[in-house]
Structure 1
Amino acid sequence: MSDVQLGKKQLNNVQWSVLDLAPIVEGGTAAESFRNTLELAQCAEKWGYNRYWLAEHHNMTGIASSATSVVIGYVASGTSKIRVGAGGIMLPNHAPLVIAEQFGTLESMYPGRIDLGLGRAPGTDQLTARALRRENRSSGEDFPEQLSELQSYFSPSGKKHVRAVPGEGLDIPIWLLGSSGFSAQLAGQLGLPFAFASHFSPNNTLPALQIYRSNFQPSEFLKEPYAMVGANVITADTDEEAKWLATSMQQQFLHLVRGNPGQLKPPVENMDDLWNDFEKASIDQQLGGSMIGSPEVIKGKLEDFLRATQADEVMVNAQIFDHKARLRSFEILSEIVKK
């Protein structure tokens, strides 16, 4: 396929990164999950991935990264070059000063390697959100004000009664994350990099990217828009194996649809034995953008994805039960995009 057909974005001239939900597999423990996370991060660094992000979720027995800043520090301490960050911190759950101090601490420990991606959703259910926020009952509507307050703590200028130490004066890239148009528009207006959650909201991807780019205003942070797009990519030596591995991810979403999220389950031979037609349609809508298959199939799907999104960077999620198969999927992907 020619460069003209692909446009300016090609597999070997965009950045590739990793999104890790630190999955706790059925029968496993959080301790095992963290060891797997560190090994994947070390391998991702070796294979040339650009950044490694961890996501904040709470009250979910299958995700170990609830204390996101702590896990970021663990990963950064065990690697040396790859950027490490949050994809993301759910800002309504926290006092902005606390996040400024946490990420100021991380940036002071691992200078030039820390990213702060921010979301405005709770990342959990309402009861858990209440437990997290106590008296701060933010619904996310005040996200722009929270963001402005957070940015002020990093600013080196002006007299302040409350200062983030460490944090003040540090250059920590702030990203806005989204699965709809709200954060896309805000990121554009503020001249911030934007990361879209195409891995679970594929139908909103192109509209959100259009909103971001059309609203973009150059800033001290960026002169041109920079869009990163999340994607589920599961690859193996054969299509059959990749599809089999992907049933763990499908089961994970099935249990979310049913309101009983749990640990990541082993693959199954036939999902039709587990879901009904309504559940299948709902999950297909959320996971419709997932790329699953052999290296040859994945290469073509990735080229189509870049052609459509013109993404500057792709952040890959791969919810795979077997850790060695997960490592192999990311290794194969790194080989595909380097060719």
Structure 2
Amino acid sequence: MTLSILDLAPITSGGTARAALLNTLDLARRAEAFGYHRYWLAEHHFAAGVASSAPAVLIGLVAAATSRIRVGSGAVQLGHQTPLSVVEQFGLIDALYPGRIDLGIGRSGQRRTELAAKAPPPEAGRVVGGLLIPPPFDWSRLAKHPHLAFHASLLQQPGARTPDFAEQIDDVIAFLTGTHEAHAVPGEGAEVELWILGSSGGQSAQVAGERGLPFAANYHVSPSSVLDAVEAYREAFKPSKALAEPYVIVSADVVVAADDATARELAKPYGLWVRSIRTGEGARTYPTPEEADAHVWSAGDLALVKDRIDTRFVGTPDAVAERLHVLRKVTGADELLVTTITHDHADRVRSYELLAGAWDGRS
């Protein structure tokens, strides 16, 4: 199947981290049965509503709970770790579950300085081949939030300096292939599949292309720049031992239910949750539809989340599958990475099940 899953191990309102992690293990088993190709875990810190703070640990648990589905990171934040530590972690998992592990890497905090530097120029949204490309979100204000600088200081040793991203990726490749002067054990010779994740046409896309690695572009996080990201990657691509041709995954936020009204009801809390992220508070526990109804939205609040709400795929199985095919066609994606968050775990499982059924009949 050309559908895969990105899971944040969401902690819901009234729930606990333990419940969220048990739900992740349950969803991974079911995703394997539904036929999904990959199951990726995100890395987020200081978020009350997200339990996936240590993806390597969680990947090991998910791999142990499943038997066939590929399991990986979407993505390890390389700015907070050394290439050696990442390769050793994923080499250890691969030693136990060989040939099933994906190492997805992102620039994370390394891009924060760029985002804080300036606001994007005014730009109107547009529709390309039936796919909405909204105006760019202004990250500059959020990137300057004092919470982010404080959190970044806690994720690294005092005085630590993060090397250039390209240098770090070259070190990861060298450790995996055994061409580094030092040897990572476990890690050297591991069968992990190395991925680069990116939200723009910047360094991540360039590095992925120039090194002939597969690339994952974020429509669900940064929908305005997804086409720039995949275009930059393809233009920079050079064949490698890993890939003869470019390979792209594109992500999407999805909620599927048996009817439109139910899907819209399940999707209600999403805007309030995104608002908590974009105000710099950090992802709150995922609200109930009733909590979402109780929130009084200001014009500023609505503007803060509009691009994410407008580009979410919500509806019946066939309708969402059709819209996802548009996303795949317009971006030229080889695979789609879908992420679904609902307050009740059963609704989330059912959403993935319905989508798999509809997609299988169209893929």
Matched, 1:256 2:258: no
Aligned residues: 323
- Equivalent residue number for residue 291 of structure 1: 313
Task: Supply the distance in 2 between the matched residues of 1:225 and 1:257 (Cα, whole angstroms).
Answer: 32
Q: What amino acid is the match of 2:79?
A: P
2:328 corresponds to which residue? 306
Shift of 1:138: 4.1
Q: How does 1:202-221 map to 2 (within 5 A)?
A: 202-221=223-242
With over 3 angstroms needed to count, the CA separation of the structure-2 counterparts of 1:272 and 1:81, relative to structure 1, is same
Which consecutive unaligned segments of at least 5 residues does structure 1 have? Answer: 1-13
Alignment of 1:1-339 (within 5 A): 15-122=2-109, 125-135=148-158, 137-138=160-161, 142-157=164-179, 160=181, 162-182=182-202, 183-261=204-282, 262-268=284-290, 273-339=295-361
Tell me, in whole angstroms, the C-alpha distance in 1 between the residues paired with 2:92 and 2:291: 46
* CA positional deviation for 1:303: 2.3
SS of equivalent to 1:285: helix
Residues in 2 aligned to 1:181 and 1:286: alpha-carbon distance in whole angstroms: 19
1:259 CA displacement? 2.6
Q: Could you state the TM-score of these two structures normalised by the residue count of structure 1?
A: 0.91
Partner amino acid for 1:279?
D
Matches of 2:159 and 2:242, distance apart in 1: 29
Percent of aligned pairs sharing the same letter: 41
Query: Is the 8 Å Cα contact of residues 250 and 328 (structure 2) preserved in structure 1?
Result: no
DSSP-derived class of the 1:181 partner: coil
Aligned residue for 2:136? none
1:184 & 1:268 partners in 2: Cα distance? 40
What are structure 2's unaligned runs of at least 5 residues? 113-146
Task: Give the conservation status (yes or no) of the 8 Å contact 1:201–1:287.
Answer: no
The amino acid across from 2:254 in the alignment is V
Tell me if structure 1 keeps the 8 A contact 2:201–2:231: no
Looking at structure 1, the residues matched to 159 and 188 of structure 2 have their Cα atoms a distance apart, in angstroms, of 24
Kept in 1: contact 2:260–2:316 (CA 8 A): yes
d(CA) in 2 for partners of 1:207, 1:30? 36
In structure 1, what is the equivalent of residue 120 of structure 2? none
Deviates more, 1:264-273 or 1:192-201: 264-273
Give me the TM-score of the superposition, normalised by structure 2: 0.85
Output the CA distance in 1 between the equivalents of 2:26 and 2:104.
Answer: 22
Given that 1:190 and 1:216 are in contact with CA atoms closer than 8 Å, whether structure 2 keeps it comes out as yes
The residue type paired with residue 299 of structure 1 is: A
Whichever residue aligns with residue 296 of structure 2, its letter is L
> Over the residues paired in the alignment, what is the CA RMSD in angstroms?
1.8
Deviations 1:98-118 (Å, cap 9, x if unpaired)? 111100001001000000000
